[in-house]
Structures are given as C-alpha cells and as structure tokens.
Structure 1
Amino acid sequence: MTEAAVSPAANQASGRDERVGMLLVFLSALMWSFGGAIARFIDNSDSWTVVFWRSVWAATFLIGFMVWRDGRRATLKLFRDMGLPGLAVGVCFATASSSFVVALAYTTVANILLMQAGVPLLAALIAWVLFRERVSGATWAAIAAVICGVAIMVSESFDGHVSPIGDGLALLIAVMFSIATVITRRFAHVRMTPATCLGAMLAAIFAATQAASLDVSARDMGFLFAFGVVNLGLGLAFFATGARLVPAAMAALLGTFEPILGPVWVWLIHGEIPSLRTIVGGAVVFTALLVHIALEFRRHARPARPGVTGVPSPH
C-alpha cells in the first residue's frame, strides 16, 4: 500500500487523537479548578486531617486507575522504574499538595492559583540556574513579569493585609511544581501518575503524624472524597492520559483554565472576592504566561527551512 493511500487515514486518526487529548487536558484543568471550592465546604479545622484524608483518597484512586489501565504487574514496574527522580517528583508533589490545603487557612484561593499560573516560567528559570538550559529573550521578559506579578501579590503580607504564611506557602507550591516540571523534563522515564501517587502516600504518612485526630464527620468525609478523588485523582488521570496526545504549548494553554476558573467557583459559591493586588498581580502573571505560550505556538508553527527536517509536535 502506498504512503499516499495511508496518509489521509493516519492524519484523520492523529487529528482525532489530538482533539481527544485537548478535551482530556481541559477536563483535568476543570477538575483541578474545583479544589478551593470543595475545600471551603469542609468544616474540620485541622488542615493536617484534611491533608491525610485527601491524600488517602487520591492515592487509592490513582492505584486503582493504574491497575485498571496497566494491570498489577505493570503498575508495580512503574513504581520500581521511577528511581530517585520519581522519588524527588513525589516529594515535590507531597509538599505542594500539603501546602495547598494548609495555605487555604491563611489566604484566598485566587492568591494560590494565580501564583501557580507562573509555574512554566519559573521552571524555565530553575532549569537555567541548575542546568544552564537556554532561555530566550522573550522568555526572560516573561519570567521578569511573573516575578513582578508575584511581588505585587506577596506585597499584601508586608502591610498586614494577608498572612505571610499564606503567601509563603502559595509561593512554595509554585516552586515545588516548577522543580517537579524540571525533573520530569530532564528524566523522560519518570511517569507522572506513579510519582504523584507516591507523593500522595508520602503526604498521607506525614499528615498522620501531625494531625490532632483523624476522625471526621460523615459530611466532611463526603467532601474529602471529592477533594481527593474528583479534584486531585481524576484531574491527574485526565491530564496523564491527554497530555501525551497534544503539543506541550497546547497543554499549557488549556491548563490555564485552572487559575481562571478556580477563583470564579469560590466567588460564585462562597462569596470569596480576591483583593485588588491579587487581581493586578495575577493579571500580570497570567498575561506573561499567555504571551509566552503564544510565542511557543508561533515558534512550533514556523515552517522549517528548505532541506531541514522539522521535528513533529508530540501527540
């Protein structure tokens, strides 16, 4: 069979896979955006109790998902093959997911999520510092804008309007996710699902040593189940399945729905209104990210020079 005969069918299948991937990545951002709204329904005031049950439910779901997708033996192999890079990603995830729950007691959902919007650019900065990866001038400008935007949001803690603990934890979340991003780029064999499942287990173990009590009401347990399974586990399952089907820039663009929608749900459901500085600083961070993603799209769409073979977009 000639190449011309199979190309249309192959292109159609590739296009269908990319559309499915885009839908799954969007659904992951949608699931993640519900985190703050779900957390605000939980009455238990002990953040470590919340961390424990959220992590237990998330780890349980992710193990079940991997066993369903890959089988028991393959799932065990995924954990064994992670090595130290996978452990490092797990520690980053455990720190970030725990910090998210604790930070909610000190600051707004918008403050946390809008800081996280700068993760791709912070990752580029960390990769340059640690590994001297090349950073373009446009990316440097975007990084500078993110730093300025974060500084505007954090400035509220300097005059007492917001707890410095909340801002500090929000910034720690962004840094941890940035480090995890750099590690997964440098070590391509690290699979996101088992690494983050390990992170959920580590978070649960640590939280169990810090919680005053693990007893929760039936009502709270229902919301903790949603917090762990729907928000964390299902979001990750959607992303891990869909992100490999779309270009990285498209996945990053669709991921911006999380910091957009998250504060909206909390505002509509709980009446939590972001401060002016959070809105201004978040707008700066968000604009820098969108400009950076747009430039990435333009770079990948630029036709190759005659005689030069282009690198296909990952699907």
Structure 2
Amino acid sequence: MSSHHDHQKGLLITAIGGLTLTVDIPLIRLADGGAWSIMLLRTGTTFVAAMIIWSVWRALSRNAPQLIPGWPGLVVAICYGLTGVTFVTAVYHTSTADLVFILAFNTVFAALLSWIFLKEKPQLVTIVAMLIMIFGVLVIVGGSVGTGHLFGDFMALCSAFFVAVAITISRASGKDMGFTALVGVLLPLVLAAFMVTGEGFHVNAPWWIIFNGAVIMPISFFCLANGPKYISGPEVAMFYLLETVLAPVWVWMIFAETPTRNSLIGGVILIVTLIAHSLWQLREGRKRRADLAVHHPV
C-alpha cells in the first residue's frame, strides 16, 4: 500500500471523526434534560456501545487492544472521565461558542505539559502561538464576568486541561489507548447514577442523547484516535478544529444562540493562531522529510 494512499485514507478517516464530533453539543441540547440525567444516558450508551465493539473485535481477532493498558491507562481513563463531567457541566453553564473555543486551548496545555514532564522544549514559534492563545482565552473569559458564564468557562478550561494530561500520558507511555477514553466514561456514569437517584431522571427527548452516545461518540473517538496512524499531528489537529468552527454554527441555526462579541473576538484569535501554527508545523515536517530524502535516498 502506497504512502500516498495511506495519507488519503488518514485524511478521510479523520475528517469523518471531526465532522461527526461537531454534532455532539447540539444533540445534548436537543435532548432537553437535566445535566446529570443527560450525563447518565450519554455515558451509559457510550460505554455499552464501546463494550459491544470491543467484544466483537476480540472475538474476531486476538489483536484487540487492551481496555486499560496498565497504570498509565488507568490515569488516562480517569482524566477522560473527569473530562466527561466537566464538559457536560460546561454545556449547561456557558455558551456553546465559549465552550468549544476554550476547549481548543488544550493544545497549549499539552505543549506546556510536554515541556515540563517530557522535556520537549517548544520552538519559539510555538511559544508565541501559546501566548497569543492565552490572550484569546482571557478575552473570552473577560467577557463572561458578570454574565453568569464564568463557572461554565472554568469547567471548559478544566476539560481542556484533563484532555491535555491524557494526551501527554498516552504519548509518554507509547501504549494503545484507543478504548481507554471510552472506558473512562464509567466515572461520570457512576457519579451521574448517584446524583439521578436523588433528584430523579429528567430527559424530554432521550432518543437524541441515546443516538449521541451509541453512534456519534464511538465513531468520532474511533476515527480521531486512528487518524494519527496515517497522517501527522498537525493535520489531525486541523480536523479537531471542525468542532470549534461548526458546533457554534449548528447551535446558532437550531437554537438561535448568538455568540457574544468577546466570544467571537477570542474565538477568532484562537482559531487563526491554531490554523497558522498547524500550517507552519506541516511546512516544517515536509522540509524535514525532504532533507532526509536527500541525505538518505532509498
């Protein structure tokens, strides 16, 4: 199989994952229920779907990945579980635009954690991009002061941090964490089940969230997790940006939720910075590959 074919396959898989993920927040909003009830139904269906997929995979092949590969896998699962809690909480306490724009900040957290713990010192261009993105997030958060969205923005920031921790540990361990994120939903599932027993179950349109958990989440996680096998990190990051750009558009079309001026300004700063930095990384990667081809011809 040619390298060109692999690259095209990776672009297609990752594009499917990125596009699928853009409807996650709209489906949560369409289900119209209490936060804990939505979390219970979303994580429950995601976990059941993941176990069915993994069981079939294991029955057909002995090469099925471990659900939780050792202690690193356990920590990664906990991080994704905490992300599930903070993400759904943020959906109910801030605007969709603020949430997805702040989630894009996970790239800064990931770079900082890699710098501190993996001794991967970022280049000057990356440091500049990080500083610009910090400014963008401050613009968004500053616009939430006095609007009641500050707590939701903080939850979104926590989600971005937990995802970055999970990515850093996954890279450091070198282990296959394909199903670990899906198993991690057990934490919010148990927490949501406990909370629902006290306040009662309330979801007006459960079919939306069942579809989200059983179909949308497994497809998006599987595709985005497999993309890096065929294409570079910066290219994968570009497809993650689809949610940042499109989720607020879907919510605006369905619920007529218009982003605030600060949210739009901060979001544009984040998106433009991420795209510019990803394009720079792609260019540098191509230059390195070209240099290697010249110095080490096959």
TM-score under structure 2 length normalisation: 0.91
1:306–1:247 distance in 2 versus 1, CA, 3 Å? closer
| 2:22 paired with 1:33 | yes
- What is the match of residue 284 of structure 2? 299
CA distance in structure 2 between the partners assigned to 1:73 and 1:21 by the alignment: 22
Deviations, residues 67-89 of structure 1 (Å, cap 9, x unaligned): 23343885886025x11111111
SS of residue in 2 equivalent to 1:40: helix
- What is the match of residue 135 of structure 1? 122
| 2:37 paired with 1:23 | no
Match of 2:162 among 152, 176, 181: 176
Match of 1:289 among 264, 274, 288: 274
- What is the match of residue 195 of structure 2? 210
- What is the match of residue 104 of structure 2? 117
CA contact (8 A) 1:118 1:289 kept: no
Match of 2:209 among 202, 224, 236: 224
| 2:156 paired with 1:167 | no
SS of residue in 1 equivalent to 2:67: helix
| 2:43 paired with 1:55 | yes
Q: Which amino acid aligns with 2:87?
A: F
Match of 2:33 among 9, 20, 44: 44
CA contact (8 A) 2:31 2:207 kept: no
CA distance in structure 2 between the partners assigned to 1:276 and 1:154 by the alignment: 12
1:68–1:115 distance in 2 versus 1, CA, 3 Å? same
Q: Report which stretch shifted further, 174-183 or 227-236.
A: 227-236
- Shift of residue 111 of structure 1? 0.7
1:308–1:155 distance in 2 versus 1, CA, 3 Å? same
| 2:66 paired with 1:66 | no
- Shift of residue 244 of structure 1? 1.4
- Shift of residue 304 of structure 1? 1.3
| 2:156 paired with 1:193 | no
SS of residue in 2 equivalent to 1:135: coil
Q: Which amino acid aligns with 1:151?
A: L
| 2:132 paired with 1:145 | yes
CA distance in structure 2 between the partners assigned to 1:266 and 1:93 by the alignment: 24
Identity %, equivalent residues: 23
- Shift of residue 167 of structure 1? 0.9
1:61–1:166 distance in 2 versus 1, CA, 3 Å? same
1:137–1:64 distance in 2 versus 1, CA, 3 Å? same
| 2:251 paired with 1:262 | no
Question: Number of aligned pairs?
Answer: 294
CA contact (8 A) 2:67 2:177 kept: no
- Shift of residue 307 of structure 1? 7.0
1:306–1:209 distance in 2 versus 1, CA, 3 Å? closer
CA distance in structure 2 between the partners assigned to 1:98 and 1:128 by the alignment: 27
Where do 5+ consecutive residues of structure 2 fail to align? none
Q: Which amino acid aligns with 2:77?
A: G
Structural RMSD (CA): 2.1
Deviations, residues 118-147 of structure 1 (Å, cap 9, x unaligned): 222320012213333211000000110111
CA distance in structure 1 between the partners assigned to 2:38 and 2:67 by the alignment: 26
Where do 5+ consecutive residues of structure 1 fail to align? 1-9, 311-315
- What is the match of residue 233 of structure 2? 248
CA distance in structure 2 between the partners assigned to 1:193 and 1:214 by the alignment: 33
TM-score under structure 1 length normalisation: 0.86
| 2:260 paired with 1:272 | no
1:75–1:48 distance in 2 versus 1, CA, 3 Å? farther
- Shift of residue 187 of structure 1? 1.1
SS of residue in 2 equivalent to 1:182: helix
